[in-house]
Amino acid sequence: MPTLVMKFGGTSVANPDRIKRAAKRVGVEVAKGYNVIVIVSAMSGKTNELVGWVNEISPLYDAREYDAVVASGELVTAGLMALTLQEMDVPARSWQGWQVPVKTTSAHASARIEEIPTDNIVRTFENGMKVAVVAGFQGISPEGRVTTLGRGGSDTTAVAFAAAFGAERCDIYTDVDGVYTTDPRVSDKARKLDKIAFEEMLELASQGAKVLQTRSVELAMRYKVKLRVLSSFEEQSDQAGTLVCDEEEIMESNVVSGVAFSRDEAKMTLISVADRPGIAAAIFGPLAEAGINVDMIVQNISEEGRTDMTFSCPVDHVARADQALQEAKSSGSINYQELIADKDVAKLSVVGIGMRSHAGVAAKMFAALQAEGVNIKVITTSEIKISVLIDRKYMELAVQALHDAFELEKA
């Protein structure tokens, strides 16, 4: 019997009524002949509440106990979903991460899935069970402790289960009805995409799109798991939502598929750094050790053996980046004249697999920004993406200008 994975996010299971609505969707798929694995998040707002309680009790908390507390939100949802399905006469049972077991690393609060043995759940399917309701976001470490996967971890759980069980598809139910060409709250011309390639979705997710968690898309691309993003509040149909799939399954791609953005960026520039072999490693090594998520990197032309080095990072990483570089300077591993942080920038990206075979995308992007008087501070490119840093106050204007320039409202 084919297997289907269905993941319901926090807004989709926010209260008993919404759990019942989600359960009805599961029942429809069971009636089609699927064995269904349901991955659930905690009810909307519950994880934040649990994290707040942990911080109130112990600001410098033990990460193992943090995981024990915050993992409980999904357990409640899993039990309620299983009970709801049973009331519908659908054979269902809830599973906690350790019962499957979802084997992870020992990195509490940011563990990675290493293995999902299928024997336990497959045995219940063979004995007549139709639905396994699994608590997302959690697993068990080699030491036997509960672990959590970090924010958005339930998406990763769902994709990992789909890969482990060879599922026909992994449906991600959320509060939006698919993947759009850009955020509809910024541009009223944003259009829902019927299909999008894994690579495009990964770039959009990593550049600021909030629909799917980046790790889940990476996993889906690696194991060729078909993802469908759809709303739990819209009418159920086989054509609903957006399918995230292999590039080969898309007949003809637009040159640009979407415009992504991130408001909370900062541009940091080291002035007058020695231009010598190993200087980049000396700068970005300490930043990596401090957990700074560096994105765009630009090195200026060398002049008399000195150069400037610019990089971007999340705005809430600025203080830690400053401290890490000051410590590196004090130790003598690097020397620079000044560190300038600009916290009022936004990152804007155009993404599309069609860019591989079409010239002129960069020229059109830059011309559109110029026409609106938007100055570009930093530029980086990849095979299917062009990203720029601009002043944050121009972000919404720039998104709309690029959406119009590439005519993304047209199918």
Binding residues for substrate: 47, 74
Q: In what order do the strands lie in the sheet with 376-382?
A: 297-299, 306-314, 258-274, 338-351, 385-391, 376-382
- Binding site listing for ATP: 7-10, 174-175, 180, 185, 210-211
Q: What is the DSSP letter of 165?
A: T
Dist CA 39 CA 97 (whole Å): 11
Q: In what order do the strands lie in the sheet with 103-104?
A: 113-115, 103-104, 138-140, 146-148
- Binding site listing: 7-10, 47, 74, 174-175, 180, 185, 210-211
CA 51, 57, 60, 62 torsion-angle sign: negative
Non-local CB neighbours of 64 within 8 Å, separated by 6+ positions: 108, 145, 146
Two tokens, residue 115? 């293995």
CA distances from 187 to 21, 386, 390, 406 (A): 30, 20, 18, 13
Q: Tokens 């090195």, residue?
A: 299
Dist CA 292 CA 284 (whole Å): 9
CA dihedral of residues 236, 165, 223, 68 (deg, nearest 10): 90
Please report, as a single letter, which amino acid is at residue 196. I
